[in-house]
Amino acid sequence: MAVGEERAFQSASRLVDDLASGAVSSRELLELHLDRVARFSELNAVVTVDAEGARKAADAADAARAAGAPCGPLHGLPMTVKDVFETAGMLSTGGAPELAHHVPDRDAIAVERLRSAGAVLFGKTNTPVWAGDWQTTNPIFGRTRNACDPERTPGGSSGGSAAALAAGLTPLELGSDIGGSIRVPSHWSGTCGHKPTWGIVPQRGHLPGPPGALAEVDLNVVGPMARTVEDLELALSVLCGPTPEEAPGWRLELPPPRATSLEGLRVGVWIDDPRFAPDPRVAECLRGALGRLAEAGAPVREVRLEVDFEDAVSTYMDLLMPLNTRTMSDPEWEAMRDAAARLPDDGSLALGGLHAHTLSHRDWLRADEDRLRVKRAWLALFDDVDVVVCPVNQVPAIRHDDRDVLERQVRIGGEAHPYLELIAWPAIVTMAGLPATAIPMGRVPEEGVSLPVGAQIVGAPYADRTTLAFARAALDELGGFRPEPAYAAAQPGS
């Protein structure tokens, strides 16, 4: 091995600096990560590898640097992206069987921006079918496992992304999030992720929609995943900006952070809720971490969003579920419509979601108005605080569960709850289009293993740099990502 195994857990920012100084080559870093992907294949995190294409790109990056050519901010950095992004000449499935052989001829806009910045794309990470679950498994590639405990899911839908980061298989990842798909895997895998303000990173080339779709989809965002907040900031600077069609008319200029120190940022804390209370272990872990931040100088205060949380989640489902019909065939949609007509809406998330698939445009407009009232309630909070720290969801990483989604249950505080209730904390942020940075806050013991617990740091619209600044300051105090010994200590041949 030309470079030491310790580089597998160095930050992308450090690796970029070392590439620039000549301390390491792009080809050496690539070979290190390709080797680790092969050795830790049991995780099933990186499911498509283009070693030949990546080696050519890495050699070209090294040659360009040696020749003194201009270098982008990611020049020569090997990385992977979630298998929902179309990548030219590489299998791009979205986890969907109908796209099992889909090889596009052009990159998604976000992928194109990473490559233009100099990134060397060597693989794709696993995702559930059409990115539609908090567990990561599909009929094409099978199940991805959590690096903390293989009996548990790393989360979803960017589960392969988080598992690859946690195991040191990649230094940087590109994920997406419509119902917590960046935040939940970060929480369950002990890594970092940023859900940007809606609309600041183009979605074109994301699966779903179907290949060739042009629309910027409601609720969904594209964002970076990493092991450090510095790496999230680096990647976000590359990804942000208008689509090519919009570029002649506007520019994106995110405001600077409101402050960069713990002492300078007003911190709202919203952890407990009578309807969607987190498991006591999760709440205790979050409160313990926030107590440490308060002792370090962070001005922390309790806040609560002045909305009916359960009603807001129902509104989110009304906005989300019609989007699922984009990839349905006519017979599938008609079957969904007929099922909804047969079953009364009993107020549960499950049946409410079923009926929302066939929502009329009139009812969607009403849901959109309700969404804006939730957003207004968030904006009122940000008059008094700069960020709000709240759970990503109610529990640490769960065991793999292959049952139908409506049959699954999770135990929260010793009581069984429907699996779909895990949507609540992601939904209340997503529906308002707000930025949220997910970071590890601590760990809890469970059944002989130590499981990560994360939080989402929520900000006002376009306050992405503020949530990232608080996240960076918080992890400077709390310690941040912690690699699992089995992966940190691994050596070639072990």
Q: Which pLDDT score, from 0 to 100, does residue 483 have?
A: 96
Mean pLDDT of 235-250: 96
**Beta-bridge partners for 388:** 268, 458
Buried b (16+ CB within 10 A) or exposed e, 421-435: bbbbbbbbbbbbbbb
Annotated catalytic residue within 26, 82, 124, 314: 82
| High-pLDDT (> 90) share of the chain, % | 89
Asked whether residue 347 carries a pLDDT value surpassing 80, the answer given is: no
How far, rounded to the nearest angstrom, does the alpha carbon of residue 419 sit from its chain's CA centroid? 19
Query: Both tokens of residue 84?
Result: 């929902």
Q: Which residue has the higher pLDDT, 357 or 290?
A: 290
Residue 360 is a catalytic residue: no
Q: Which pLDDT score, from 0 to 100, does residue 1 have?
A: 39
Mean pLDDT of 200-219: 96
Q: Which pLDDT score, from 0 to 100, does residue 2 have?
A: 52
In sequence order, the 6+-apart residues with CB closer than 8 A to the CB of 124 are 46, 47, 48, 80, 81, 82, 83, 85, 87, 90, 91, 92, 160
* Average pLDDT, rounded, for the chain: 95
Annotated catalytic residue within 13, 92, 161, 181: 181
Q: Which pLDDT score, from 0 to 100, does residue 490 have?
A: 56
Residue 186 is a catalytic residue: no
Check: CB of residue 356 under 8 Å from CB of residue 215. Answer: no
What pLDDT digit, counting tens, does each position of 69-105 carry? 999 999 999 999 999 999 999 999 999 999 999 999 9
Asked whether residue 494 carries a pLDDT value surpassing 50, the answer given is: no
Mean pLDDT of 220-245: 98
Check: CB of residue 82 under 8 Å from CB of residue 158. Answer: yes
Mean pLDDT of 414-442: 97
Annotated catalytic residue within 157, 161, 176, 314: 157
Residue closest to 435 by CA, chosen among 174, 202, 183, 162: 183
Check: CB of residue 397 under 8 Å from CB of residue 282. Answer: no
Q: Which pLDDT score, from 0 to 100, does residue 362 have?
A: 95
In sequence order, the 6+-apart residues with CB closer than 8 A to the CB of 322 are 356, 357, 358, 359, 364
Rounded Cα–Cα distance for residues 173 and 125 (Å): 9
Residue 157 is a catalytic residue: yes
Domain topology for 5-266+468-488: Amidase signature (AS) enzymes (3.90.1300)
Mean pLDDT of 441-470: 97
Asked whether residue 179 carries a pLDDT value surpassing 90, the answer given is: yes
What pLDDT digit, counting tens, does each position of 255-278 carry? 999 999 999 999 999 999 999 999
3-state secondary structure of 301: strand
Mean pLDDT of 352-378: 92
Q: Which pLDDT score, from 0 to 100, does residue 489 have?
A: 67
Q: In the chain, how long is the greatest CA-to-CA distance?
A: 69
